[in-house]
Structure formats: structure tokens, C-alpha cells
Amino acid sequence: MTKLTLGSHPFLLGFDQLERLVERTAKSENGYPPFNIEQSADNAYRITLAVAGFGEDDLSITVEDRQLIVRGRQADASDERIFLHRGIAARQFQKAFVLADGVEVAGATTENGLLHVDLKRAVPDTIVQTIKINKG
């Protein structure tokens, strides 16, 4: 008996990349920085990352190949200060989220050590499409 994968199932035409996207997302999962994902409206979402200690200039947000990538890198200011205890992480990070077709970044804000990235799903005008049959 042959094992059917998600991308090879006969009723899921055009979904062959979905399995690769799931694998790519699973490989990139780490715990830093912590984040929340919430649905803020029917076609809107918000990703919130805890980025305490990072300024707006230390953060970058890009969309590359349907992936939302959030990067954080602080300037090294350890030469100026002498730490007796250093418990606040100042490490760089990269967090990637795979975006579905039609999902776009609406904006981003920082507030109280949190980075909010708002997403919106474009709703198509036509849900039902009639296909004309041509005579061969």
C-alpha cells in the first residue's frame, strides 16, 4: 500500500508546496522571542513579539517568498558598561512566519516592549467563477 502525502493526494491539486512550507516552519521554530498570534477581526490578524530592550532601529520586518521575517539585532554597548549581573537577554533573533496567499502586512508598531505586526487577508470580489467551455 502506498502512503499518500498531503501534496500527492488526488483531491488536493496545487497544494504540493504546502507540505514543504509546514516542514520549513517546523524547522525554524525556537522559543526566543516569545510571541502571540491573535485574530483581531474576520480577515485580520496580529502577531505580537516580546522585544524588551530592542529599539525601533534594532528591528527589521521583511516579507521574502511568502515568509514574514522579523529580525532583531542590538548594537553592542557592553564596552561602556560593567555588569555585575546580566539577566536580560541581548541576543539577536530571527523569527519567520509563513503567510498564506492573499495575506499582507498592514503595519507594525512598538508599545511597552512589544512589537505588533498587523496582517490582513484580501477578500476576493468574486467567490463564484463561471468557466466558459470552448468547442474543440
Q: How far is CA 115 from CA 40, 61, 67, 79, in A?
A: 15, 10, 17, 27
Close Cβ partners of 85 (under 8 Å, ≥ 6 residues apart): none
pLDDT(1) > 60: no
What does the domain layout of the chain look like in residue ranges? 32-75+88-124
Is residue 48 very low, low, confident or very high in pLDDT (cuts 50, 70, 90)?
A: very high
CA-based nearest residue to 93, from 109, 70, 125: 70
| Cβ burial, residue 102 (10 Å; 0-12/13-18/19+) | exposed
State the pLDDT at residue 36.
96
Give the CATH architecture of domain 32-75+88-124: Sandwich (2.60)
pTM: 0.72
